[in-house]
Amino acid sequence: MTGSGPDGLFGGLFARGAVRVGDRDWLQAMLDTEAALARALARAGLADAGAGAAVTAAARADRFDVAEIGRQAALTGNPVPALVRALSDSLPAGAREAVHRGATSQDIIDTALMLLARRAIEVIDADLAAAAEQAAELAQEHADTVMAGRTLLQQAVPVTFGLVAAGWLTAIDAARHELSHVRTTRLAIQFGGAAGTLASLGAAGIEVSGLLAEELGLPEPALPWHTDRLRILQLAGALAGVCVALGKIARDVTLLAQTEVAEVAEGGSPGQGGSSAMPHKRNPVISVVILGCTRQAPGLLASLATAAEHELQRAAGAWHAEWQPITALLRLTGSAASWSVPLLSGLRVDTGRMRANLDAAGALPLAAHDLDAAADPAGYLGSSAEFIRRALAAHAAVATQELPTSS
């Protein structure tokens, strides 16, 4: 989408936070991959000793014309050939042999994606950790705040707002767990050359592959995964899981913030939530924007699942179909995670309104079960307190574990 970058027309909504996956970020990740390969080749004795350092010094995105590389990509089906030419042209003759040697375009783009994903996951996880802490505080503070439970959007038996927040908390923690699993086990270099054999490097192929992984701080897979796209799908699934967890929170807030319900309200800066046509309104704009991000995730995940079947040793079009959906999914998940922090930290809970709405329904939802509890809904909360305790204990265990950072 035009204007979806951090400084674009929609960037403040859909590119909030520190996840950066724009054109220049992609370009830098590709350059980082090329530079790491040059260093690996030099270490393996397949390039001049100073070639790796020379390529690394030149591999800065601000030295290259992104638009021109993009235009030339139309001639080859991807931007790597044009980037390789531009990078080689910027180097002394002795260092040029270290550029792209042994690699194919997919090696560079797939590995660049892994670098972008690693950085994005670290940012997303930090925001999720902050959001989880806020949810935990709400769960603890409102463990005894009685409110109407609602099933099929109708009032049911009572619950506590602490239990609602505990549900948010466990979903965030579960989403973080999946992200961590992908971060530590599924991100890996891609390096297989023309058909996944590294034949152009002869007997040195495996050595260079290991050195490339070491240079980038990414795992070396058992073999190249050019047409095995499970890693991409698992990454996308973990990101979509984050969107599910955050979308649930945002949807609950929009429902509880309705004028007729008014049990919660968003905080936010002055002017936030204003309406262009109805000055009296205060819209739950943070929740709305989170939903604007998260509701795009299923379609993007479906596109990536559809594109995951790659034929033989190199796909004709399916690989190309991944680039924009995975970029958008990283950006939108990062934005939703960033928005979730002010949503939960600024959430205002009206406990009096919660009790009033519950009392307005009368005792009928409880009468068939327990006449004594019908007189006091706080006596009909079942195992709510224990569920909240369990959620907080599980979160405390999660909070002691830190996601590994980039090397």
Look over the chain and give the mean of its residue pLDDT values, rounded to a whole number: 93
Q: How far, in Å, CA of 79 to CA of 27, rounded?
A: 9
Of 285, 184, 290, nearest in space to 244 by CA: 290
Please compute the mean of the pLDDT values over residues 229-255 and round it to a whole number.
98
Mean pLDDT of 88-96: 95
Matching CATH number, 19-103+191-224, of 1.10.275.10, 3.10.105.10, 3.20.20.70, 2.60.120.10? 1.10.275.10
* Domain 114-190+225-407 architecture: Up-down Bundle (1.20)
**pLDDT band (50, 70, 90) for residue 369:** low
Q: Is the pTM of this model over 0.85?
A: yes
> Hey, do 19-103+191-224 and 114-190+225-407 end up sharing a CATH topology, with the first three levels equal?
no
What confidence category does residue 269 fall into, taking pLDDT thresholds of 50, 70 and 90? Answer: low
Q: Where are the domains of the chain?
A: 19-103+191-224, 114-190+225-407
User: What is the per-residue pLDDT across 134-164, written as a single tens digit (0 to 9) for each?
Assistant: 999 999 999 999 999 999 999 999 999 999 9
Mean pLDDT, to the nearest integer, of 241-265?
98
Nearest to 128 by CA among 239, 235, 218, 231: 239
Quickly state the pLDDT bin for 8 (edges 50, 70, 90). Answer: confident
Helix (H) or strand (E) holding 264: strand 264-265
**Quick check: is 314 catalytic?**
yes
Catalytic residue chosen out of the listed positions 60, 314, 353, 389: 314
Phi-psi region of 144 (alpha: psi -120 to 50; beta: other; left: phi over 0): alpha
Which of 200, 275, 383, 406 is flagged as catalytic? 275
For residues 30 and 83, is the Cβ–Cβ distance under 8 A? yes
Q: If you average pLDDT over residues 200-214, what whole number do you get? A: 97
Identify the weakest region by mean pLDDT among 55-64, 72-81, 248-257, 354-363. 354-363
Q: Does the pLDDT of residue 199 top 50, yes or no?
A: yes
